[in-house]
Chain A
Amino acid sequence: MSAGTGQPADLQQLDHVWGPRPGFVGWLGQCNHKAVGRRFIFTAFAFLLVGGAMALLMRTQLAVPANDVLGPDAFNQLFTMHGTIMMFLFVVPMLEGFTIYVAPLSLGARDMPMPRLNALGYWVYLLGGLFLLSSFLVGAVPDSGWFAYVPLTGPDYSPGLNLDFWLLGVTMLEVAGIVGAIEVVTLVARFRAPGMSIFRMPIFVWSGFIASVMILFAFPPLVAGTVLLELDRKLGTVFYDATAGGDPLLWQHLFWWFGHPEVYIQLIPALGMAAAIATAAAGRRMAGRTAVITALVAIGILSFGLWVHHMYATGIPLLATSLFTAASFMIAIPSGVIVMAFIGTMWWGRIRWSAAMLYVVAFVFVFVAGGITGVMVAMVPFDWQAHDTYFIVAHFHYVLVGGSLFPILGALHFWMPKLTGRMLDERLGVVAFALNFVGFNLTFFPQHALGLFGMPRRVWTYQEGLGWDGLNLVSTAGSYVMGLGMLVFTLALLRAHLPGAPTAPDDPWGADSLEWATASPAPNYNFRSTIRVRSPEPLWDRRSTLGDRDGPDPDPPEWQRRIDTAESGLRQAVATTGLDARPDHIVTLPGHSLHPLWVSLSLAVLLVGVLVDAGVLAVVGLVGLVAASAAWLWPGVE
């Protein structure tokens, strides 16, 4: 391992150059993808627990008819925040966090192409999340549902600060999402290890790439929509006011143009995670690898043509809505291909069971059911009955828990060794899995029936004698079981990080992709030497040159020797060409920087100023924003 140029002294130099600066300020100014990715993942996990606790409160209120645990105000705030937290603060940032941590390692890169932008994404996300949650402190919690339909959210019917918290907070989170997406797209386009052509990329990286491209197209319309609504609220414009020639349906179109792809933005990277877990567990390439990637791309494109299927009941003519039925059906085909590919992979592989793999099986089990109810509600006449009822609540929880949460929990098991160097306890993991799986189905399966029995969603109470009592009680009991499952999962997560817990080997799963070629947790410099990839499964093909495992390249070209020894004392990495990943040029990456933090803080001050109508504060924030951006971009600084 220590032949050639890879002497321990070089390693020290490499580690020094790529490591964080010492002290608290150094910790604060970290921009490396591993630090940022870990922060995203653990922050998002904390928000998951917050959002889940809210769900338990709501289920407690609905356990029996005419319950009074919560009043209507509290309940309406909770379902609004539950949806908002799960969508904007948990799933998307969690998936971005995994992409940011894992993708550069899977691609054999040393860092993301724009590390400071990466850090900016995290700070804006964190502050946006805290901004939203701070509404609990001032008692003005958003309470109009996560899709915030006008005119209920307009100046006339929501005069308080509640909706301003939501609009400004969500706008910040959208900005964070767009920033992360730009980063991932650039990473995938130019930072793959030499030899990793576009078709050799792991499926998980493909999925993160597709979701990022989708974010770039889906999020800006919502930013536009929320800004228009904020203008209506703050400056008295009438974009959505029907009495003055505006149109409330404009909001719905803008929102669902974002909102529908958003569902798939939450699904696609999770599919990639499940694919990574299944490939490793089966010990062979995903069945129909190319078909799976093609199907992911197809879902990404088709998902932009479905938004009206959230609006069947608005009175849009049947012919128009029927076209969206056909479009919605079309997405079932690539989804079917993906499900079959998972089954095929399990069919011909020799599965090594782990808690992570159990979550993959649960994903197929639950997601297929959610997909089938999805086909049902894509049919216009049936949706007239099912729309806005608990049938829909059950449907999208089957899709999002099955298609997103379960793969994410599996991914935490799967990549935790690489993230922190600790294995999660398998026995606790299996117990948590069993509780989650049983609890989930017990919670949401009865809700299908509740919807058909006439129970609308978003009701804080219901009367006795409607035939809803028993099913609601079962559902609440199920939610407690799932809550217990998440508690056990959290305990497993904490226990693995107690002092003295066993450390993880480099490659505990016998997996195929490059992140497993380096130490656990991944060292600051990712790989000792530049990797050369020769197939889609570089750890299995025995032909690729792997930085750590095989020792450094004995006879590297001059540019590679300079990068691998970090003799210049700069963070240098090789950028490669877009399709076949030939070495193209050397880029120098920034390391420590506090500018992203200052920019995000200024943005937060600006938004608080707008929120409370304090012009001075807003101007201070704006000036800070301009100054911090200028300092960031000033040539030669940092």
Chain B
Amino acid sequence: MRRVVVIRQATVAAAAVLLAGCGPDPRDSVTDPASPQAAHIDALWTLILWLGTAVWIGVMVLLAVPLLRSRRRRRERPAAHAASTGRSDPVPAEATPSPGAATAPAAELDEPLAVADPREHLDAQTDQRVRSRLLWLGGIVVPAVILLVLLVAAGRVGGLTAHVERAGELEIEVVGHMFWWEVHYPELGITTANEIHVPVDRPVRLNLTTDDVIHSFWIPRVHGKIDMIPGRENQLTFEPTTTGRFRGQCAEYCGIAHAQMVAFLEVQEPDEFDAWVDQQQRDAVEPETESQLEGQRVFLDAGCAACHTVAGTEAVAGVGPDLTNLASRGSLAAGIRPNTRDDLRELIIDPWGVKPGNPMPPTILDDDELEALLDYLEALE
């Protein structure tokens, strides 16, 4: 009795853990598409999930039947079972299978059917026909039919989701860096980082390249991933149909901070997008307060300008992300921190603590300089 209770408690605990696992909705799931491309792939997933589950259950039933039957048989014929385990039982000569094909090896492909206990020989012969039916139907015919269906489905979805040039598409260049994403809008003259703004219901084409190693660009809710490979340019086309802020991570291992290379796709209503474009096309906001002016001086003198650009100032370097509109972004350090004053302060003085492997060095500033710099950066809308 106690054992039953323990088992029941264990089952309840396991179920609770599983429920906890399934509880909160995932933030960005492949099964929650926000574009026709992702929707086609999701439909394919639904098809293969059900077909695959059906096939697996079918095979498991085939597996379970003999296991149960074998138990029953063993109960029914304990004598035969004992004979087949031990070898003490002398076998009558007439039960030995005929040595017909003994001298012709090639003829012995499957005949005569060999068994450990010769008394089961006849029994075994009667299985032959069903056995070959199982192999033919279960092993070849049924899988072949299913696979043909899936081949057609995969080809069709592939055709619907692969990159094709479309009229009126918004072209964006995304460049992978260790460990952030550089974003250009060549037609709009905008450069930003890690957050890609696009209008809803308009085809978008991403031209993907890399500045260093292989990265892979992936926003699960709008499309599958595609690699950024040195010496090549890959394209990804999709048409977002839902507004929202969609998250994605670098999918190809790219070095120490691979886990902390996040991109956001911000799908906006067309008027919001236009307002954003307007804001981004302007040069950086001029510092107004004394503290902001001091902050700009710190920015230009303390080494920040060696790597970063702020349009309209002397800072024009392209090693790190463009900071012209830093304050308009929702996140910092390639999408791993919210864009708050505290996080920004931590990123400046301890970049390797925020993101181990970050190429950005720590900047040594006294408190006044640091606060002034933050005032300046926070004004860069």
Contact = CB atoms under 8 A, between A and B. Distances in A.
Contacts of A314: 226-227, 229, 234
A466 B162 contact: no
A384 B143 contact: no
A249 B102 CA distance: 54
A352 B84 CA distance: 9
Contact of B259 (A352, A381, A383, A462): A462
B197 interface: no
Interface in A541-566: 541-543
Given A467-B27, A470-B24, A384 B224 contact: yes
A149 B215 CA distance: 11
Contacts of A510: 84-85, 87, 116
B11 to A, nearest CB: 12
Interface string A567-581: 000000000000011
A217 interface: no
Interface in B2-47: 17-18, 20-31, 38, 40-41, 44-45
A463 interface: yes
B231 A248 contact: yes
A290 B110 CA distance: 7
B17 A341 contact: no
Nearest to B25: A467
A379 B213 contact: no
Contact of A242 (B23, B91, B230, B356): B230
Contacts of A460: 259
Given A149-B252, A364-B59, A463-B336, A284 B66 contact: no
A404 to B, nearest CB: 19
A73 B256 CA distance: 6
Nearest to B248: A454
A321 B224 CA distance: 15
Contacts of B96: 542-543
B120 A284 contact: yes
Contacts of B255: 152, 157
A73 B67 CA distance: 48
A305 interface: no
A145 B258 CA distance: 12
A341 to B, nearest CB: 6
Interface stretch (A4-12, A166-174, A530-538, A625-633): A530-538
Contact of A467 (B24, B55, B84, B178): B24
Interface in A264-304: 283-285, 287-291, 295
A474 B117 CA distance: 47
A473 to B, nearest CB: 7
B151 to A, nearest CB: 6
Contacts of A387: 216, 224-225, 251
A76 B158 contact: no
Contact of B66 (A313, A343, A580): A343
A540 B109 contact: no
Contacts of B31: 452
B275 interface: no
Contacts of B213: 149, 151-152, 157
Contacts of B157: 379, 381-382
B209 to A, nearest CB: 11
B115 A285 contact: yes
B245 interface: no
Contacts of B55: 368, 372
B298 interface: no
Contacts of A384: 41, 161, 223-226
A160 B33 CA distance: 43
Contacts of A369: 56
Given A152-B253, A290-B110, A340-B134, A385 B27 contact: no
Interface residues of A, number: 111
Interface string A213-239: 000000000000000000000000000
Interface string B116-137: 1110100010010001101100
Contact of B226 (A200, A290, A315): A315
B336 to A, nearest CB: 7
Contacts of A287: 127, 131, 134-135
B281 to A, nearest CB: 31
Contacts of B56: 368-369, 372
Interface string A182-208: 000000000000010111100000000
A156 to B, nearest CB: 8
Contact of B70 (A346, A381, A537, A543): A346
Interface in A366-396: 368-369, 372-373, 375-376, 379-389
B302 interface: no
A590 interface: no
B140 A333 contact: yes
A352 B116 CA distance: 12
Given A350-B80, A372-B56, A453-B26, A381 B41 contact: yes
B117 A283 contact: yes
Nearest to B109: A290
A350 B70 CA distance: 6
Contacts of B316: none
Contacts of A152: 213-214, 253-255
A261 B122 CA distance: 41
Contact of A315 (B81, B116, B132, B227): B227
Given A325-B151, A343-B63, A473-B17, A284 B113 contact: yes
Contacts of A471: 21-22
Nearest to A549: B87
B26 to A, nearest CB: 3
A542 B118 CA distance: 10
B89 to A, nearest CB: 11
B83 to A, nearest CB: 10
A337 B139 contact: yes
Interface string A503-515: 0000100101000
B147 A385 contact: no
B67 A283 contact: no
B299 interface: no
Contacts of A243: 230-231
A136 interface: no
Contacts of A47: none
A299 to B, nearest CB: 13
A249 B44 CA distance: 29
B154 A381 contact: yes
Contacts of A336: 138-140, 142-143
A361 interface: yes
Contact of B139 (A145, A242, A333, A454): A333
Nearest to B65: A347
Given A290-B110, A340-B138, A470 B127 contact: no
B114 A313 contact: no
A508 B91 CA distance: 19
Interface string B238-253: 0000000001111111
A512 B154 CA distance: 45
B21 A454 contact: no
A348 B129 CA distance: 12
A152 B252 CA distance: 11
A108 to B, nearest CB: 15
Interface in A491-542: 507, 510, 512, 534-537, 540-542
A614 interface: no
A454 B30 contact: yes
A109 B40 CA distance: 58
21 contacts: A143-B256, A145-B253, A243-B231, A313-B227, A318-B158, A325-B151, A332-B147, A341-B135, A343-B138, A347-B62, A347-B127, A347-B131, A349-B70, A352-B85, A384-B226, A385-B41, A386-B30, A456-B249, A467-B25, A473-B17, A510-B85
Given A343-B66, A376-B48, A387-B224, 9 more contacts: A157-B213, A248-B214, A322-B158, A341-B139, A351-B74, A368-B59, A381-B224, A382-B157, A388-B225
> Which 6 pairs of residues, A with B, have the shortest CB-CB distance?
A384-B224, A242-B231, A467-B26, A197-B105, A470-B21, A459-B259
